[in-house]
Chain A
Amino acid sequence: MSRTRRAGLAFTLMQMGQLARRSVMRTLRQPAQIVPALVFPLFLLAVNSSGLSSAINLPGFPTRSYLTFALAVPFMQGALFAAMNAGTDLANDVESGFFNRLALTPLAAPALLAGMLGGALALGVVQAVTFLLVGVAAGAGFAAGPGGALTILALSIVMSVGFGSLGAFVALRTGSGEAVQTMFPLFFVSLFLSSMSLPRDLIQTDWFRTIATYNPVSYLIEGIRSLLITGWDAHALALGFAVAAGVVAVGLAAASLALRTRLVRT
């Protein structure tokens, strides 16, 4: 690599670091973003794991602990919150004019996008660690052991970045925090129409099972769930990571295109 290219790369990384630092600090300084992202998934976990605990008596249910089964869901909800928070922050920047001022600087577009996703990444880490600790404290099983817990952490981070970039896409496309907020029900629907409450083979209603099978969220949940219940299931993990990588690829591509359009407008 030539000295000029190396210097260019270092400059881009420095820009990225500055923006990522701002994004992380902004996320961590807003309890209104962090608290719901932690409390809401844990509340649903507590309610569902108690309310649906008799589901373990269904023939073929894969575990004797509904808590262990349900623990995969907060990680997915956490990724959805990452999408909302990343999108809302970016939309605020657009609405307040900060984004336009950034666009007038010699900042590289990929650095702008990657840096702005720093907050989603940080929130993803905080959430995943909290959910893991709560799971351990509540007595959930970790069939894959400590390595499995680290793999869950890695998958959650990829999911947070992926859904965060989808939130960024909506923010860049619309430039409106309200539009980002209206995406929340859509994300919520995708979660509920998945295998979050029962394994797909135990879903009795045909149309629901078909939707859950085509819904990528099912595979993200099942990837995490496999580490909690089965151990190292290569098939479930490969599907989980592939879907998460797909969300990252689609989200980043869409956000990059929206960014280019917005920079042209600026």
Chain B
Amino acid sequence: MSDRAHTRSVVLGVAWRTLHRLYTTPALLLPSLVFPLFFFLAFAGGLSSISKVPNFHYPPGYTAFQFAFVLLQSSAFGGVFTGFGIAADFEGGFARRLLMAAPNHKAVLAGYALAALSRTLLTGAIVFGVGLAAGMNVDGNGVDLFGLIGLALLVNFAAGMWAAGIALRFRSIQAGPFMQIPVFLALFLAPVYVPQSLLKGWIHGVAGLNPVTAVLNAARSLLAGSDVHIALGFAAAAGLGALFVLWALRGLRRAENAT
């Protein structure tokens, strides 16, 4: 078997195992499906009158406005949950055996990332279906929606690499809060409830510096069929992805040294 074929078999094997474990363990699958739906219902339903605030302008409506946030949130947490899986595999000793058996260790990491991307496609499809059922307007065309999926996958990849970096360094599920809390903070320090222009006080400044704001604005623009902020959003998501790949690879090196 050639090196490339070896690498591909490791990537696919790790991804298959991760997904199989996910889909056969309801306790792992359900939170990642239920939480985004719950946030979507709570925000889009409970806060819809916020769209009546003066100067709130988002043509597709408040449901679509919140859908963009919930889609990115579910993508990000799909990546974080994969970090939990890596940590659990180290705790159980499986990941160590995997590192010893696989000729290319980066392929192991790629396998986990592939599983995270597959997982987020399922969650995104379910949230999207619920959004449409709840009367969400989508003003963007097919290309915009394709771009939105791409953006969600980039966010998933960046969050997954962040969580993988933590998991590979600590190799314990006890590091879960370190994977989860920064992602939670970054998401909620973006313009979650109202457009960036309507934020007041300290959060306006923080949201302006937060790269997630650019990603969120791009997602909302894609849903609205507008081209404002899109390039910036993709650049921010890709930049975060590149940064956290380096972070995860350095973590992998530490895990290799410890194994």
Interface residues of A (CB under 8 A from B): 43-44, 46-48, 50-55, 57-58, 185, 189, 192-193, 197-198, 202-205, 207-208, 212
Contact = CB atoms under 8 A, between A and B. Distances in A.
Contacts of B201: 50, 53
A197 B47 contact: yes
A192 B42 contact: yes
Interface residues of B, number: 32
A162 B31 CA distance: 26
Nearest to A212: B46
A185 B199 contact: no
A197 B49 CA distance: 11
Contact of A52 (B31, B193, B204): B193
A43, A51, A53, A58 interface centre (most CB from chain B within 10 Å): A51
Contact of A51 (B31, B52, B194): B194
Contacts of B185: 43
B46 A205 contact: yes
A54 B48 contact: no
Nearest to B204: A50
A212 B46 CA distance: 9
B47 A198 contact: yes
A198 B204 CA distance: 21
A32 B126 CA distance: 35
Contacts of A54: 50, 53-54, 56, 194, 198, 200
B58 interface: no
A50 B206 CA distance: 11
B177 to A, nearest CB: 8
B93 interface: no
Contacts of B49: 58, 198, 202-204
A50 B47 contact: no
Closest 6 CB pairs of A and B: A50-B203, A208-B45, A192-B42, A204-B49, A205-B45, A204-B48
B188 interface: yes
Contact of B46 (A51, A58, A185, A192): A192
Contacts of B52: 58, 204
B95 interface: no
Interface string B30-68: 010011001101101111111011101000000000000
B45, B46, B53 interface centre (most CB from chain A within 10 Å): B46
A159 B28 CA distance: 31
Contacts of A205: 44-46, 48
Contacts of B42: 189, 192-193
Contacts of B200: 50, 53-54
B222 interface: no
Interface of B: 31, 34-35, 38-39, 41-42, 44-50, 52-54, 56, 185, 188-189, 191-194, 198-204
A74 to B, nearest CB: 15
A52 B50 contact: yes
Contacts of B38: 185, 189, 192
A53 B48 CA distance: 15
B31 A57 contact: no
A160 to B, nearest CB: 23
A120 to B, nearest CB: 22
Given A50-B199, A50-B203, A192-B46, A185 B193 contact: no
Given A185-B31, A189-B38, A193-B42, A55 B203 contact: no
B49, B52, B54 interface centre (most CB from chain A within 10 Å): B49
A64 B16 CA distance: 54
Contacts of A48: 193
Contacts of B192: 47, 51
A53 B207 CA distance: 15
A54 B41 CA distance: 21
A53 B191 CA distance: 12
B47, B198, B199, B202 interface centre (most CB from chain A within 10 Å): B47
B199 A57 contact: no
A81 to B, nearest CB: 15
Contacts of A193: 42, 46
A52 B46 contact: no
B31 A47 contact: no
Given A50-B203, A52-B194, 20 more contacts: A47-B188, A48-B193, A50-B199, A50-B202, A51-B194, A52-B47, A54-B53, A54-B54, A54-B56, A54-B198, A55-B53, A57-B53, A57-B54, A58-B50, A185-B34, A193-B42, A197-B46, A198-B47, A198-B49, A202-B49
B46 A207 contact: no
Contacts of B202: 50
30 contacts: A43-B185, A43-B188, A44-B188, A47-B189, A50-B199, A50-B204, A51-B188, A51-B191, A51-B193, A51-B199, A51-B203, A54-B50, A54-B198, A54-B200, A55-B50, A57-B53, A58-B49, A58-B50, A58-B52, A185-B38, A189-B38, A192-B46, A193-B42, A198-B50, A203-B48, A203-B49, A204-B48, A204-B52, A205-B44, A205-B46
